[in-house]
Amino acid sequence: MVGEMETAYYDRLWMDELRSRSSGVDNEAFWDGRAERFSASADQDHRAKRLNRVLDLLSQKGMLHENSSILDIGCGPGKFAVEMAKIGKEVIGIDVSSKMLAYAENKRLEEGLENLQFMKLDWGQVSLAELNWEKRFDLVFASMCPAINSQKALEKMISASRSCCYMSNFAFRQESIFDTLAAQLAPARSLKQQGNAVYCCFNILWLSGYYPEVTYMDSQWERKFSYTEALEYYGAALPIPGGPSREQSELMKKYLQQCSANGIILEKVRAKFAFIYWKI
């Protein structure tokens, strides 16, 4: 009973962090709008370094090998799924975004990977029983996936795995423009809860009898937007339920105009990624 009360506490804390974000980041339109940037982004070098770090880590821990059957939750444009398919026996990648999956499928075809398939599914709505996915995979993998957002989501990952799981999230993130806009337009929804996903995930797993390990990676990069792209991105990503009001939109436009240089808005990002992995 005590353990259940403690895990419930961390589950609520995790939900509090979700409520501090924009409601737009969990819908298909938001991720469709980011598909092209994710597929061929200006910060490709930083993404490649993280991808290689994660693959090396999983291989060293014996979680990714030639006989692995892998589920990639929130696979996006398929960068992890493609590389894992080159190592493992079978990979299934799922995502809510049709455009993300289109980029992923194109990459699969380019690489000629017959052991990789992509499916348009929302992890929150997935029925493991209907898909026959109970204990189906050796590795259940979720990199920076917003669908891994609660004790229930973690338990579903565990139910789908017969060996091990991996998830990652930000332990810390600082963004030069986003943070300023959030402080001006949504001060009541501060960033003080940043990192709660990592903290809550670890504690829920620990209290549930698992022994999660955590590895950290520091990174920094720059993102470039046109003025129009910036308006669309920040309008959807800022932690303002229902999106910015007319007044807030005007303030955002004015600030972004001040940040613009020759029509380009440059945001500097510093982050600490946390990689959490555990055996079943």
Look at the chain and report how many structural domains it folds into.
1
Is the residue at 244 inside a domain? no
Is the residue at 15 inside a domain? yes
What CATH number does the domain containing 6 carry?
Answer: 3.40.50.150
pLDDT at 1 over 80: no
Whole-angstrom distance, CA of residue 262 vs CA of residue 273: 32
Q: How confident is the model at residue 23 (pLDDT cuts 50, 70, 90)?
A: very low
SS3 68: coil
Whole-angstrom distance, CA of residue 235 vs CA of residue 244: 6
Share of the chain above pLDDT 90, in %: 74
Question: According to the model, what pLDDT value does residue 243 have?
Answer: 82
Instruction: Quick: pLDDT tens for 144-155.
Output: 999 999 999 999
Supply the DSSP symbol for 122: -
Domain limits at 67?
A: 2-173+189-222+270-279
234 class by beta-carbon count within 10 Å (0-12 exposed, 13-18 middle, 19+ buried): buried
Whole-angstrom distance, CA of residue 239 vs CA of residue 84: 33
Question: What residue type is 133 in one-letter code?
Answer: W
**Cβ contact 109:135 at 8 Å:** no
Is the residue at 259 inside a domain? no
Instruction: Quick: pLDDT tens for 179-214.
Output: 999 888 877 655 545 678 999 999 999 999 999 999
